[in-house]
Amino acid sequence: MGKPVAEETQISAHTSGEALIGTGIPAELADARGTIDNIDAALVHILAERFRCTQRVGHIKALHDLPPADPAREARQVARLRSLAEESGLDPDFAEKFLAFMVKEVIRHHEDIKAEYDEGSAHSIPKHGIVGR
């Protein structure tokens, strides 16, 4: 007999609302996908928190007339994340590309915040920045 298969009444831990009812996929696969979905949800929450923090940084930079980009900090972050990636068994090149994507978005937000300050339409520094646009 083969491996157990997800039964018709079994619903995975999917947070996306997708239930694996009567799919006939192996229970092991359903469990693995449920774990991935939970990790994805955690990543979204962590990224939202990160962007709240970077929004606050953008306001501080704008108030002190500092540039939106900080190449020296970015270089230190790349080295740090590549090292963490290696220690964690993650491809360091992937980690660097992911960081570059985030930094590009953060700089864009910082430029927008700076423009708001220059126009006089910015408000006080938020305790937690606003995610999104």
Answer whether residue 4 shows pLDDT above 60. no
Contacts of range 94-103, beta carbons closer than 8 Å, 24 or more positions apart = 102/47, 102/50, 103/74, 103/77
DSSP 63-132: HTT--S--HHHHHHHHHHHHHHHHHHT--HHHHHHHHHHHHHHHHHHHHHHHHHHHHT---SPPSSPPP-
Q: Round to whole Å and give the CA distance between 114 and 41.
A: 31
Residues 6+ apart with CB under 8 A from 51: 105, 106, 109, 129, 131
Range of the domain at 107: 1-133
Q: Could you tell me the CATH number of the domain that includes residue 14?
A: 1.20.59.10
How do residues 53-72 score in pLDDT, each as one tens digit?
Answer: 999 999 999 999 999 999 99
Confidence class for position 97, pLDDT limits 50, 70, 90: very high
Q: Round to whole Å and give the CA distance between 7 and 119.
A: 60
How do residues 36-54 score in pLDDT, each as one tens digit?
Answer: 999 999 999 999 999 999 9
How do residues 20-30 score in pLDDT, each as one tens digit?
Answer: 556 788 999 99
How confident is the model at residue 41, as a pLDDT? 98
Answer whether residue 15 shows pLDDT above 60. no
How confident is the model at residue 21, as a pLDDT? 56
Average pLDDT over residues 62-86: 97
Number of structural domains the chain divides into: 1
